[in-house]
Structure 1
Amino acid sequence: MISSLLLAVQATVANTGAEFSLNKFIIITASCILALLIIPRVIRYPHVGPKMPLPFPSVFNNPSVGAFLAAISTGHLVGVGAVLGLTNLGII
């Protein structure tokens, strides 16, 4: 039997944004691409190590694997922050 207190608590739990949505996917993907365009140009040694085989190396500044991972990690951090913020504001 489910307690009525449990139902009351469950109804007041905030939206965590854990479910999949196309809007969230687009925001995180766009932030990763934007970070991939910016980050390899501003880090100190973007070409040290093996190169990442990207389709347009001149557009992405021909980054190494380390620079690529740093850019994608930064893009995910910014994208998740944007998604959480927009979810909190009720826009998404």
Structure 2
Amino acid sequence: MNNGTHSARLLPWTGSEGKPCYLLTDGDGPLSRLADVMERTQLDMAQDLLDHAADLLTDARSTPEQLRFLLARMREALTDVHRIAESRGMRSR
């Protein structure tokens, strides 16, 4: 989104009702920097989950509860990664 001078950035978090949050920005302000840090943190957490999944899936002693918990966390991480990709795609237009 673009209002002529500043673009609307989809932020890496949602509002209280789960609705998307946008920031009108030129890309260089404190909230933009906070969003950058949050995106990096979310991507790092997703990588950690992938590493954990690799370990858990090769462990024959993994329980259904452990796998269900992992799947729930991976769904959250995938939601975050999808939002980041959508946001970056909007900014590259």
So what's the TM-score if we normalise by structure 1? 0.35
So what's the TM-score if we normalise by structure 2? 0.35
**The structure with more strand, counted as a fraction of residues:** 2
Structure index of larger Rg: 1
